[in-house]
Amino acid sequence: MADKTVLFVLSSHDKLVSGKPTGWYLPEAAHPYYQVQQAGYKVEFASPKGGQAPLDPSSVEAFKDDDESTKFLNSEETKKAVANTKPLAQVNEKDYAAVMYVGGHGPVFDLTTDAESIQLIQDFWAAGKPVASVCHGPTVFLNVMDTKTGEAFVKGKKITCFSDEEEKQAGLVDEIPFLVEKELRAKGADFVLAREPWGEEVVVDGQLLTGGNPASASALGKKLVEALKQQ
């Protein structure tokens, strides 16, 4: 049932500039997943290439003491789901109530310019459905155009993401092709900076919901559930 299924989109990209492994970030999938599931919704996973979506191993280590991340990592249901993601080319917006883009550095490399993803975002937006994203996830909006105005989708919209300062503190500025906050600002986004680096920050602008970093994933999941219930 479209009205009870939420699409989670993961990256298919598995290497940083230096060749170090990357991918999607564990708590940014796990926390919203359980929020959505506990509210009675089904979750399906997709990625640009389909099949196994690469998990950033650093997120496993960093969140080894996080109950929901560990549960997600070890659950047979979720292991099977992320190993068998649907290719974005086979995804239809009409089959889902909302879309959620999971972060990690991977999306910066592939989902930023993925044509199917760009079209999907436009379709969800045109249908008035919630469009959510966390951490590096908002990179997916950079090349989306507002079909009504012909301008950048993010122009004038309140939005947050993993900040340039957080990227510097993580020591990963040189590991990605660009800084997401910087590019969102350049596209005219009304950027909302977290009150402190690594602190929870969730921004809601109509049907657009964004979270700033891993600490924001659970709160973003709650806001997504609220948006789903308002449909």
Domains in the chain (CATH in brackets) are 2-229 (3.40.50.880)
Please write the tens of the pLDDT for every residue from 204-214.
999 999 999 99
User: Is pLDDT of 201 > 70?
Assistant: yes
- Estimate to the nearest angstrom the gap between the alpha carbon of 144 and the chain centroid: 15
User: What tokens does 109 get?
Assistant: 């490399």
**Whether the predicted pLDDT of 1 surpasses 60:** no
Cα(first)–Cα(last) distance of the chain, in Å?
Answer: 14
Average pLDDT over residues 99-118: 99
Q: According to the model, what pLDDT value does residue 3 have?
A: 79
Share of the chain above pLDDT 70, in %: 99
The DSSP code sequence of 73-89 is HH-HHHHHHHHSBEEGG
pTM for the whole thing? 0.98
Q: Which two three-digit tokens encode residue 217?
A: 């994933």
Which element (helix H / strand E) includes 126?
Answer: helix 115-126
**Mean pLDDT of the 217-227 span:** 98
User: How many helices, marked H, and strands, marked E, lie in the chain?
Assistant: 9, 9
β-pairing verdict for 98-101 and 208-211: unpaired
Chain-centroid distance of CA 75 in Å reads: 21
Q: How far apart are CA 101 and CA 141, in angstroms?
A: 10
What is the pLDDT confidence band of residue 75, given thresholds at 50, 70 and 90? Answer: very high
pLDDT one-digit tens code per residue, 146-187? 988 999 999 999 999 999 999 999 999 999 999 999 999 999
Q: What distance lies between CA 87 and its chain's CA centroid? A: 16
Closest CA to 220 of 13, 25, 2: 25
Mean pLDDT confidence for 10-29: 99
The string of pLDDT tens digits covering residues 23-73 is 999 999 999 999 999 999 999 999 999 999 999 999 999 999 999 999 999
CA distance 14 to 103: 13
